[in-house]
Amino acid sequence: MSQDRYDVLVIGGGPGGYVGAIRAAQLGLRTALAERAALGGICLNWGCIPTKALLHSAAVLRTCRAAAEAGVSIQGSIEPRLDAMVARSRAIAGQLGRGVAHLLKKHGVTVIQGRASLLGEGLVQVQDGPRMQAQHIVLATGARARALPELPPGERVWTYREALAPSSLPASLLVVGAGAIGMEFACFYRALGSDVTVVEAAPQVLPQEDAEIAAVARKAFEAQGIRIHTGCRVASSRVDAQGLRVAFTGDAAPAALYVERAISAAGIVGNVEDLGLEHTRVEVRNTHIVTDGLGRTAQPGVYAIGDVAGAPWLAHKASHEAVRCMEAIAGLPAHALDTRRIPACTYTFPQVASLGWTEARAREWAREHGRELRVGRFPFAANGRALAAGEGAGLAKTIFDAASGELLGSHIVHAEASELIAAHGVAMGLEATEADLMESVFAHPTLGEALHEAVLAAQGAALHV
């Protein structure tokens, strides 16, 4: 049987897969991409982009409701139109999906629709499609929501897919999991008027974030009317015609709740099934493929990138990982990503963004190596631009190694945190020291001045607190 031959075959068309395919084609490699569903993957179609579109709609709603505080009078009632919000979100995802298809075509990447699996010896079979031969096979199959046996998905229990395209607004909603996905949905539905309760097994909301920042965020979430219970798990659930009753376990567990809907956002698992990995030496650990820093697996010629290759489960991590993997395949100098330099953003009200180590992790490192830390904090309540914009809530926090001045961590909770974190991302990437950042000049009045003051505060030299 004849087979199409490629230098690189990418399985999965998400932000890791399609970016990797484009970069491989740019490097002169004959490249194909197999995708079983829609180009752009979960991120573009059912994750990053459509959720941000919905959250933007909710932010506009919140701004209109607070217009009087800015001296603006809006006549008539201010009501959310859920159907229009969802339609706008889906339209944006569709537009970007078409853009991805255009980019792949522009770069000469062959796109094959269908589920692909490895046969061994560089062979890949697409279900109801061609058999292909590739020197390098890159797995970019992503991940999916973890299903809880105590809260199985169904009509009353949504995953992110159902939560992104509801036909009606639930009067009451339980969100299981207070990570980024769970809290973003909690903020969206609360802004539209749902009665929202969040439960989280960890002792804090946003478990991956700095504890101090998470505490500030929790206070803001609760001020919106979101009820939060940490340190508890779902014990059981029972569905009836009108809703579901959920019971909990844990020292801080609430009484059983009866809600119209629930969203399960308790983590993800890698998509490693039906890939034909049994024909390879690829190692899977905790549903994720084990790789080195450049995506190489235990099977020569087989690579894995993005969510299927493990944490951090972020689209921008997948894209950068893909580029480095392809450059290594092409023989260019390449080095592994430093995960400390990958920013994480949560688009709640307010947003939370972080880079590097939390204070707890940094202090653990300091104890192990006999080092001292300098930690600086600056409240946005003391920032003129934040107050002028009506966004004075929040905190900027920086963590430095006292001896070297190395920036170990930057953490922000504020309405514009996701944009602000980029400044310290560049600084960390260029290995700027505390002294360099203190000498940097930020325009006035800007939110960025809060980052500068947080650096100054680490030296006890903050000027406006």
Q: Is residue 308 part of a domain?
A: yes
Look at residue 251 in the predicted model and tell me its pLDDT. Answer: 86
Does residue 323 have a pLDDT over 70? yes
CB 331 within 8 A of CB 384: no
Q: Is residue 332 part of a domain?
A: yes
Query: pLDDT digits over 164-211, tens only?
Result: 999 999 999 999 999 999 999 999 999 999 999 999 999 999 999 999
Residue 178 assigned to a binding site: yes
Active-site residues, by number, are: 444
Query: pLDDT digits over 116-128, tens only?
Result: 999 999 999 999 8
| Average pLDDT over the chain, rounded to an integer | 96
Does residue 382 have a pLDDT over 80? yes
Residue 17 assigned to a binding site: no
Q: Clarify whether residues 274 and 255 are in a common domain.
A: no
Query: pLDDT digits over 223-275, tens only?
Result: 999 999 999 999 999 999 899 999 999 988 889 999 999 999 998 999 999 99
| Mean pLDDT along residues 31-46 | 95
The CATH number of residue 29's host domain is: 3.50.50.60
pLDDT band at 381; cut points 50, 70, 90: very high
Residue 69 assigned to a binding site: no
Which one of 211, 244, 266 terminates a domain? Answer: 266
Query: pLDDT digits over 275-301, tens only?
Result: 999 999 999 999 999 999 999 999 999
Q: Clarify whether residues 229 and 312 are in a common domain.
A: no
Which one of 238, 266, 294 terminates a domain? Answer: 266
The CATH number of residue 377's host domain is: 3.30.390.30
User: How buried is residue 242: exposed, middle or buried, by Cβ count under 10 Å (0-12/13-18/19+)?
Assistant: exposed
- Dig out the tokens for 225 from the structure: 């009317």
Which position has the token pair 């809060």?
Answer: 450
Q: Clarify whether residues 324 and 299 are in a common domain.
A: yes
Residue 250 assigned to a binding site: no
Q: Clarify whether residues 293 and 198 are in a common domain.
A: no
Q: Clarify whether residues 218 and 257 are in a common domain.
A: yes
Q: Clarify whether residues 215 and 299 are in a common domain.
A: no
Residue 1 assigned to a binding site: no
Residue 34 assigned to a binding site: no
| Mean pLDDT along residues 15-35 | 98
Question: Which residues, in sequence order, are CB contacts of 182 under 8 Å at separation 6+?
Answer: 175, 176, 198, 200, 263, 265, 266
Q: Clarify whether residues 435 and 321 are in a common domain.
A: no
Look at residue 1 in the predicted model and tell me its pLDDT. Answer: 45
Q: Clarify whether residues 201 and 292 are in a common domain.
A: no
Residue 180 assigned to a binding site: yes
Q: Is residue 464 part of a domain?
A: no
Backbone angles phi, psi at 353, to 5 degrees: -140, 145
Give residue 447's identity as a one-letter amino acid code.
L
Residue 405 assigned to a binding site: no
Which one of 279, 314, 339 terminates a domain? Answer: 339
Q: Clarify whether residues 304 and 378 are in a common domain.
A: no
Q: How far is CA 312 from CA 18, 90, 225, 389, 409, in A?
A: 19, 26, 30, 33, 16
Q: Is residue 152 part of a domain?
A: no
Q: Clarify whether residues 67 and 212 are in a common domain.
A: no
Residue 181 assigned to a binding site: yes
Does residue 371 have a pLDDT over 90? yes
pTM for this model (two decimals)? 0.95
Query: What is the C-alpha R_g of the chain?
Result: 24
Query: pLDDT digits over 408-435, tens only?
Result: 999 999 999 999 999 999 999 999 999 9
The domain total for the chain is 3
Q: Clarify whether residues 54 and 103 are in a common domain.
A: yes
Q: Clarify whether residues 226 and 300 are in a common domain.
A: no
Q: Is residue 390 part of a domain?
A: yes
Does residue 329 have a pLDDT over 90? yes
Q: Is residue 465 part of a domain?
A: no
Distance CA 13, CA 9 (A): 11
Q: Is residue 321 part of a domain?
A: yes
Q: Is residue 345 part of a domain?
A: no
Quote the DSSP letter at residue 200.
Answer: E
Range(s) of the domain holding residue 389:
350-459
Q: How far is CA 55 from CA 60, 62, 213, 291, 350, in A?
A: 9, 10, 21, 35, 11
Query: pLDDT digits over 54-86, tens only?
Result: 999 999 999 999 999 999 999 988 999 999 999
| Mean pLDDT along residues 104-121 | 96
Look at residue 253 in the predicted model and tell me its pLDDT. Answer: 87
Instruction: Specify the pairing of strand 261-264 against strand 157-158.
Output: parallel
Look at residue 2 in the predicted model and tell me its pLDDT. Answer: 52
Residue 307 assigned to a binding site: yes
